[in-house]
Structure 1
Amino acid sequence: MGIWRKLERARKPVLMLLFDLAMLSAAFFMAMAIRLNGLAEAVTLPMLGCLIITICSSSLIFLKLGLYRTVIRYMGQKAVIAVLQGVTASSILLAVASYLTTAGVPRSVPVIYWCFALIAVGGSRWLVRIYYQMALEIHKTRVAIYGAGTAGLQVYKALLHGEVYKPVAFFDDNTSKQKTLIDGVMVYSPSSILDVVAEHDIAEVLLAMPGVPKRRRREIARGLRDQGLVVKAIPGVEELVDAAGRTEDMSQTYENVLGRAPVEPEKALIAGSISGKVVLVTGAGGSIGSELCRQIAQWGPAHLVLVESSEYALYQMERELRQQQQDEGYQLRVTALLGDVRDRVRMADIIKGFSVNTIYHAAAYKHVPLVEQNVVLGADNNVLGTLSVLEATEGSKVEQFVLISTDKAVRPTNVMGATKRFAELVCQDYGRRSAQMRVCMVRFGNVLGSSGSVIPLFTDQINAGGPVTVTHPKVTRYFMTIPEAAQLVLQAGNMGRNGDVFVLDMGEPVLIYDLAERLIRVMGHSVKDDKNPDGDIEIQVTGLRPGEKLYEELLLGDNVLGTDHSMIMRAEEEFLDPGVLQRLIAGLRQACVEHHCERVHQILSEAVSGYTSKQGLVDAVWSRSRTVKPQIKMATVERLPVTSEGGLH
Structure 2
Amino acid sequence: MTYQKRLSCLAALDSAIVLFSIYIGYFLLHPYIDIYNAGTLAVSSISLLISHHLFAALYRLYQKAWEYASVHELIAIVKAVTLSVLVTAIVQLVAFQDIYVRVLLITWMLHILLIGGSRFSWRLYRNHFIARDKEKKRALIVGAGSGGSMVVRQLLSHTDADFRPVALVDDDHNKQRLQIHGITVAGQTADIPRLVKQWKIDHIIIAIPSLKRSEIQHIYKQCAKTSAKVQIMPLIEDVITGRVSVSQFREVQVEDLLGRDPVELNIESIAEYAAGRTILVTGAGGSIGSEICRQISTFQPRKIILVGHGENSIYQIDLELRNRCKGSIEIIPIIGDIQDRERMFHVMEEYRPDVVYHAAAHKHVPLMEHNPQEAVKNNIFGTKNLAEAASAAGVNKFVLISSDKAVNPTNVMGATKRLAEMIIQQLDKESETRFVAVRFGNVLGSRGSVIPLFKKQIQAGGPVTVTHPDMTRYFMTIPEASRLVIQAGALAKGGEIFVLDMGEPVKIVDLAKNLIKLSGFSIEEVGIKFSGIRPGEKMYEELLNKNEIHPNQVFPKIHVGKAAQVEPEVLWEFIDTLPSKSNRMLKKELIEIANAKDGLQRLMKEVSGLLI
Q: Give the TM-score, by structure 1 length.
A: 0.57
Tell me, what secondary structure is at the counterpart of 1:348? helix
The answer to whether residue 559 in structure 2 is matched with residue 572 in structure 1 is: no
**Given residue 416 of structure 2, which amino acid in structure 1 is its aligned partner?**
T
CA root-mean-square deviation: 4.2
390 and 486 in structure 1: CA distance in 2 versus 1, 3 angstrom threshold:
same
The answer to whether residue 451 in structure 2 is matched with residue 433 in structure 1 is: no
420 and 592 in structure 1: CA distance in 2 versus 1, 3 angstrom threshold:
farther
Aligned-partner Cα distance in 2 for 1:216–1:323? 24
Q: Corresponding residue for 2:446?
A: 450
Distance apart, 1:571 and its partner CA: 0.6
Q: How does 1:10-25 map to 2 (within 5 A)?
A: none
Contact 1:379–1:419 (Cα < 8 Å) also in 2:
yes
Q: Corresponding residue for 1:360?
A: 357
Q: Corresponding residue for 1:550?
A: 539
Tell me, what secondary structure is at the counterpart of 1:402? strand
Distance apart, 1:611 and its partner CA: 10
Distance apart, 1:334 and its partner CA: 0.4
Q: Corresponding residue for 1:312?
A: 312
**Given residue 485 of structure 1, which amino acid in structure 2 is its aligned partner?**
A
State the aligned residue count.
Answer: 417
Distance apart, 1:463 and its partner CA: 1.0
Q: How does 1:132-281 map to 2 (within 5 A)?
A: 144=147, 206=232, 208=234, 253-281=253-281
Distance apart, 1:256 and its partner CA: 1.1
Q: Corresponding residue for 1:351?
A: 348
Contact 1:344–1:391 (Cα < 8 Å) also in 2:
no
Aligned-partner Cα distance in 2 for 1:538–1:409? 33
Aligned-partner Cα distance in 2 for 1:585–1:426? 9
Tell me, what secondary structure is at the counterpart of 1:588? coil
209 and 504 in structure 1: CA distance in 2 versus 1, 3 angstrom threshold:
closer
578 and 142 in structure 1: CA distance in 2 versus 1, 3 angstrom threshold:
farther
235 and 451 in structure 1: CA distance in 2 versus 1, 3 angstrom threshold:
farther
494 and 576 in structure 1: CA distance in 2 versus 1, 3 angstrom threshold:
same
**Given residue 440 of structure 2, which amino acid in structure 1 is its aligned partner?**
F
The answer to whether residue 286 in structure 2 is matched with residue 294 in structure 1 is: no
The answer to whether residue 467 in structure 2 is matched with residue 478 in structure 1 is: no
Q: Corresponding residue for 2:402?
A: 405
Aligned-partner Cα distance in 2 for 1:284–1:311? 11
**Given residue 304 of structure 1, which amino acid in structure 2 is its aligned partner?**
I
Distance apart, 1:566 and its partner CA: 1.9
Question: Could you list the runs of 5+ residues in structure 2 that have no partner in the other structure?
Answer: 1-131, 172-179, 186-207, 217-230
**Given residue 526 of structure 2, which amino acid in structure 1 is its aligned partner?**
I
Aligned-partner Cα distance in 1 for 2:451–2:543? 21
154 and 495 in structure 1: CA distance in 2 versus 1, 3 angstrom threshold:
farther
The answer to whether residue 515 in structure 2 is matched with residue 540 in structure 1 is: no
Pairing partner for 1:581 from 571, 581, 589? 571
Aligned-partner Cα distance in 2 for 1:155–1:293? 42
Tell me, what secondary structure is at the counterpart of 1:324? helix
Contact 2:362–2:375 (Cα < 8 Å) also in 1:
yes
Show CA shifts across 1:75-102 (max 9, x none): xxxxxxxxxxxxxxxxxxxxxxxxxxxx
Aligned-partner Cα distance in 1 for 2:506–2:273? 32
Aligned-partner Cα distance in 2 for 1:316–1:550? 36
Q: Corresponding residue for 2:521?
A: 525
Contact 2:166–2:183 (Cα < 8 Å) also in 1:
no
Tell me, what secondary structure is at the counterpart of 1:608? helix
Q: Corresponding residue for 1:90?
A: none
**Given residue 550 of structure 1, which amino acid in structure 2 is its aligned partner?**
M
Aligned-partner Cα distance in 2 for 1:471–1:235? 40
527 and 198 in structure 1: CA distance in 2 versus 1, 3 angstrom threshold:
closer
Pairing partner for 1:424 from 410, 421, 426? 421
Q: Corresponding residue for 1:25?
A: none
**Given residue 273 of structure 2, which amino acid in structure 1 is its aligned partner?**
S
Aligned-partner Cα distance in 2 for 1:489–1:235? 36
Aligned-partner Cα distance in 1 for 2:253–2:606? 42
Distance apart, 1:523 and its partner CA: 1.1
Show CA shifts across 1:584-631 (max 9, x none): 11101269443330464354133211799xxxxxxxxxxxxxxxxxxx
The answer to whether residue 382 in structure 2 is matched with residue 393 in structure 1 is: no
Q: Corresponding residue for 2:509?
A: 513
Aligned-partner Cα distance in 1 for 2:586–2:520? 49
Question: Could you list the runs of 5+ residues in structure 1 that have no partner in the other structure?
Answer: 1-125, 169-180, 187-195, 221-232, 241-251, 529-535, 613-649
Percent of pairs with identical residues: 40
**Given residue 336 of structure 2, which amino acid in structure 1 is its aligned partner?**
G
**Given residue 459 of structure 1, which amino acid in structure 2 is its aligned partner?**
K
**Given residue 344 of structure 1, which amino acid in structure 2 is its aligned partner?**
R
Tell me, what secondary structure is at the counterpart of 1:304? strand
259 and 235 in structure 1: CA distance in 2 versus 1, 3 angstrom threshold:
farther
Aligned-partner Cα distance in 2 for 1:438–1:292? 19
Q: How does 1:623-642 map to 2 (within 5 A)?
A: none
Aligned-partner Cα distance in 1 for 2:164–2:434? 49
Show CA shifts across 1:436-481 (max 9, x none): 2110000001111111212211111111110000000001111111
Tell me, what secondary structure is at the counterpart of 1:497? coil
Aligned-partner Cα distance in 1 for 2:610–2:420? 15
Distance apart, 1:253 and its partner CA: 2.7
Tell me, what secondary structure is at the counterpart of 2:313? helix
Tell me, what secondary structure is at the counterpart of 1:555? coil
Contact 2:380–2:416 (Cα < 8 Å) also in 1:
yes
211 and 331 in structure 1: CA distance in 2 versus 1, 3 angstrom threshold:
farther
Pairing partner for 1:468 from 461, 464, 469? 464
487 and 210 in structure 1: CA distance in 2 versus 1, 3 angstrom threshold:
same
**Given residue 336 of structure 1, which amino acid in structure 2 is its aligned partner?**
P
Tell me, what secondary structure is at the counterpart of 1:421? helix
Contact 2:407–2:418 (Cα < 8 Å) also in 1:
yes
Contact 1:449–1:455 (Cα < 8 Å) also in 2:
yes
Tell me, what secondary structure is at the counterpart of 2:294? helix
Q: Corresponding residue for 2:549?
A: 559
Tell me, what secondary structure is at the counterpart of 2:448? coil
Q: Give the TM-score, by structure 2 length.
A: 0.61
459 and 610 in structure 1: CA distance in 2 versus 1, 3 angstrom threshold:
farther
365 and 183 in structure 1: CA distance in 2 versus 1, 3 angstrom threshold:
farther
Aligned-partner Cα distance in 2 for 1:606–1:410? 13
Q: Corresponding residue for 2:19?
A: none
Contact 2:233–2:248 (Cα < 8 Å) also in 1:
no
